[in-house]
């Protein structure tokens, strides 16, 4: 699925760019593979899209854009995915509509950037291993709810990993790290509520370099075995409280 093969591997398969438009309903089912696969740029502008797939739900290899559409996914691996390993490609942009999914692996997986914007945008991941994953995760608006067996938000990739939050209302319930960056985290606005983990091998907040917070609301609860709070360079105040349950 990660190669540039020309062998069709989705119930709907396109080797070139694909745009889904209009106000109708599209139901896609694949008991053996992916739901919708586009090897170039995939744009879902409007409509109600329901996908059930044994593998990934919707793939835009070069990039994946979601506009004012209602998307429902139940799949065995990644819900939404763009995984082209090339500069300027491999990104997911959601700037409207409603996206609801239950995924066996990542809810949304981006090889490069994952962007969620728009006041009326809604993204709900009811089940996943990792909820939102990308080298860069940028959230400027919307309502986001994530349930994850591992990390809720995870910035991971080759280099310059970061999570940037400038708006939005986010709730994350994760058995692994609530928010995790292999680089840095920046938050200037919005509301982020983190629940979990319950084991000391993970942390509610996990970062390598720094977490700079200059605005917004952040609340988190979970085990303290890998406790991290925001960096001292932050202009926002923080209260950190631990309790021994032994």
Quote the pLDDT of residue 4. 56
Q: Answer whether 66's CB lies under 8 Å from 49's CB.
A: no
Is it the case that residue 3 has pLDDT exceeding 50?
no
Q: In whole angstroms, give the CA distance from residue 236 to residue 211.
A: 11
How do residues 108-148 score in pLDDT, each as one tens digit? 999 999 999 999 999 999 999 999 999 999 999 999 999 99
> What separation, in Å, do the N-terminal and C-terminal C-alpha atoms of the chain show?
47
Is it the case that residue 245 has pLDDT exceeding 70?
no
Query: At which residue do the structure tokens 């793939």 appear?
Result: 59
Q: Please state, in angstroms and as integers, the Cα–Cα distance from residue 6 to each residue in 1, 13, 33, 238, following that order.
A: 10, 10, 15, 52
* pLDDT confidence band for 44 (50 / 70 / 90): very high
Quote the pLDDT of residue 6. 65
Closest CA to 10 of 44, 59, 45: 59
How do residues 185-237 score in pLDDT, each as one tens digit? 999 999 999 998 888 888 999 999 999 999 999 999 988 888 899 999 999 98
């Amino acid at each position: 699925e990660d190669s540039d093969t020309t062998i069709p591997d989705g119930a709907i398969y396109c080797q070139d760019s694909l745009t889904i438009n209009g106000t109708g309903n599209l139901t896609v089912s694949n008991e053996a593979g992916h739901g919708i696969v586009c090897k170039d740029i995939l744009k879902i502008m409007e409509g109600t899209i329901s996908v059930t797939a044994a593998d990934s739900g919707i793939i835009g290899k070069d990039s994946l854009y979601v506009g004012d559409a209602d998307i429902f996914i139940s799949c065995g691996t990644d819900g939404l995915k763009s995984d082209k390993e090339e500069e300027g490609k491999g990104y997911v942009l959601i700037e409207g509509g409603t996206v609801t999914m239950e995924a066996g692996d990542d809810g949304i997986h981006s090889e490069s950037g994952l962007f969620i914007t728009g006041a009326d945008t809604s993204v709900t991941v009811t089940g996943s291993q990792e909820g939102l994953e990308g080298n860069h995760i940028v959230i400027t608006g919307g309502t986001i709810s994530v349930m994850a067996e591992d990390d809720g938000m995870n910035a991971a990739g080759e280099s310059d990993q970061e999570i940037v939050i400038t708006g939005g209302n986010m709730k994350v319930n994760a058995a692994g790290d609530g928010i995790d960056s292999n680089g840095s985290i920046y938050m200037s606005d919005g509301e982020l509520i983190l629940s979990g983990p319950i084991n000391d091998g993970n942390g509610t907040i996990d970062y390598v370099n720094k977490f700079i917070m200059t605005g917004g609301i952040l609340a988190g609860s979970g085990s303290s075995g890998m406790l991290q709070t925001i960096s001292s360079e932050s202009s926002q105040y923080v209260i950190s409280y631990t309790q021994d349950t032994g």
